[in-house]
Amino acid sequence: MPLLIVEGPILKDKDKKRDLIIALTEAASKTYKLPREAITVLIKENSPENVGIGGQLLAERIPRCR
* Least separation in angstroms between CB 28 and its own copies: 7
Backbone CA torsion sign across 24, 25, 27, 32: positive
Using CB under 8 A as the binding rule, whether residue 37 contacts its own copies is answered as: yes
Write the binding mask 42 to 61 for its own copies: x where contact by CB under 8 A, - elsewhere: xxxxx--xxxxxxxxxxxx-
Using CB under 8 A as the binding rule, whether residue 14 contacts its own copies is answered as: yes
Q: Distance of CA 30 to CAs 26, 33, 52, Å?
A: 6, 5, 33
* Least separation in angstroms between CB 51 and its own copies: 6
